Chains A and B, each alone.
Chain A
Amino acid sequence: MSAPLLAADNLHTYYGESHILRGISLTLAAGETVGLMGRNGMGKTTLIRTMLGLVKPRSGRVTIDGADVTGSDPFRIAQRGIAYVPEGRGIFATLRTMENLTIAERPGLDGSRQWTVDRILDLFPRLRERQHNMGHQLSGGEQQMLAIGRALLTNPRVLILDEATEGLAPLIRDEIWRTIRLVRDAGIATLVVDKTVSEVTAVADRVVVLVKGELVFAGTPAALLANQLLMQRTLGV
């Protein structure tokens, strides 16, 4: 068996003295969709940021295609084909919509240019209408589309979405979930952090559940849905 595209191996991450990640291991194979779930403050964002090199773990490893990238500069990890849609969207408020997209555009690791600015504007017609507006003039939904479009323009192998539907109107949420399916169907491995259990379990191949920095569940969506007690205790649903 070949090494997973992206993997966390026994990660321990601290913020100062607080022990946030307590030995997390997680793999993401090429083309796979994994749902990462858990209540607020359980360490989902910290796990993502550790894998992206934005936070350094105290111990444990992050690997891409089996190669150790722990402690690498974030831009090098991103250049290995890992794209990130951060919690809060991370739009450049002082850049126009178009600039938010064009600065991200580059060919994928294999030289492919599947995702172009035009394709993103076709995917999100609202962004085409707003292309000359500044980032801070966009609505929350438009910013989320922009964050996803920007990530796709790096022609990634992996797309990591942190709370991409949080705080959005139902219609916009639906559009984001449609997009996530489209990305999955395009063969991009996706790691989806979200609190909408029904949607995550519908879109993911596997789900994992975090409680206080530890994995308490890893399995198929069906197995999670079948375990009412676990869902109630760890997700509150």
Chain B
Amino acid sequence: MRNDAWGEGNLRPRLMTISGLLAQCLNSLQYGLLLFLISSGLTLIFGVLGVINLAHGSLYMIGAYATFVVVRATGSLWIALPVAMLGGILLGGLLERYLFRHFYKREHLDQVLLTFALILLFEESRSLLVGNDFYSVPIPTALDFSIPIVEGFSYAAYRFVVIGVCLVLAAALFVWIERTKMGAIIRAAAEKPEMVDALGIDPRRVHMTVFAVGTALALTAGALNAPLSSVYPNMGDGLLIISFVVVVIGGLGSISGAFWSALLIGTIDTMGKAYAPKLSGLAIYLLMAIVLLWRPTGLFGQRT
């Protein structure tokens, strides 16, 4: 059947091969995992702090620019990655301690205005410090090669590294949330914050930890993806929107929901762009609308 979205001009024969499909599968996985790093922080912060952080995409942007700056100065992505991670923890801790903490009991509109103001603040600072040009970050020379997968098809080694690092971080996040005392306190605080207080647990420590970890994950995502996407103004905006879709489909506040949802959205978006470019922009939002109507608590976030 002929579908206009598959218009002849967009039919790229190379994609229609097995190796083309394989490449898109790996791209889907890599993009999905990256989305998870961003949306897990977003959903965790919403679940525990009750704040929808519109500046979460800007944190991703900061991670990417920090990586660009560090790589330019030191020539090493392996220095930039931990800098982004630790810098994220520090930045997140400070933001929570001196800004967000004062907004938990405020109106939603105040919170929206705060986080929107942060976007402007972060982008203006970026413009002042680094300018508005596009920059690329080189892939480390040791990884600047392709790994042959099947006859006639190979895949960039650095993309495998991104997949690997994301998987390690996702596993660490799961173990932390599901298997440690702090993780149990975080889940408890997302469910019944008042009861956590009544047990004598200092909620400020919990909030700060969650915000710091969420921020670090966003910066790390920006750092990992910088060599693949290059860095440019407002680069986090699109990812923020799509991360919201991930969070909604995964179920607000659910980490495991965000994981499966990120892989699903990553796949739909990647495959859509490759095989049905005219439809792809619409597909994920359509999916979100259907999920919101049909299962408002999300597809995966079934906890209680």
A binds B: yes
Binding site for B on A (CB under 8 A): 52, 54, 73-75, 78-79, 83-84, 86, 90, 92-95, 99-100, 102-104, 106, 136, 150-151, 154
Residue of A nearest to B183 (CB): A99
Give the contact-size bracket for chain B: 20 to 34
| Bound complex: CA A104 to CA B304 (Å) | 21
Residues from chain B with Cβ under 8 Å of A100 in the complex: 188
> Are A75 and B203 in contact (CB-based, < 8 A)?
yes
CB-defined A-B contacts under 8 Å, sample of 15: A75-B198, A75-B199, A78-B197, A78-B199, A86-B195, A90-B192, A93-B191, A94-B190, A95-B191, A99-B188, A103-B181, A103-B185, A103-B196, A150-B199, A151-B199
- Taking Cβ atoms with an 8 Å cutoff, the residues of B that contact A are 181, 184-185, 187-188, 190-192, 194-203, 303-304
Establish whether residues A103 and B188, one from each chain, have CB atoms under 8 Å apart when the complex forms.
yes
Query: Within 8 Å CB of B188, what residues of A?
Result: 92, 94-95, 99-100, 103
Q: How far is the CB of B117 from chain A (nearest CB, A)?
A: 28
Contacts A79-B200, A95-B187, A154-B200; A74 near B192 (Cβ below 8 A): no
A residues within 8 A CB of B187?
A: 92, 94-95, 99
Nearest CB on B from A62, distance (A): 14
Contacts of B202 in A (CB 8 A): 75
Instruction: Determine if B199 and A154 form an interchain contact, defined as CB atoms under 8 angstroms apart.
Output: yes
Find out whether the CB atom of A99 lies under 8 angstroms from the CB atom of B198.
no
Q: What residue of chain A has the Cβ atom nearest to residue B188's Cβ?
A: A92
Question: Given A103-B184, A136-B304, are A92 and B191 neighbors across the interface (CB < 8 Å)?
Answer: yes
Identify the closest chain A residue to B197 (Cβ). Answer: A74
| B191 contacts A103, C-beta separation under 8 Å | no
A103 in contact with B195 given A92-B188, A94-B187, A136-B304 (CB within 8 Å): no
Cα separation A90 to B199 with both chains bound (whole Å): 11
- The minimal Cβ–Cβ distance linking B243 to chain A, given in whole angstroms, is 23
Closest 9 CB pairs of A and B: A78-B200, A74-B197, A99-B184, A79-B200, A90-B195, A92-B188, A84-B198, A75-B197, A104-B199
Chain A residue numbers with a CB within 8 Å of B194 are: 54, 74
Min Cβ gap A163→B in Å is 16
Which of B181, B191, B194, B199 gathers the greatest number of chain A CB atoms within 10 Å?
B199
Are A106 and B200 closer than 8 Å at their CB atoms?
yes
Given A94-B187, A94-B303, A95-B187, A103:B192 Cβ within 8 A: no
Please, how many angstroms separate the alpha-carbon atoms of A104 and B181 in the complex?
Answer: 10
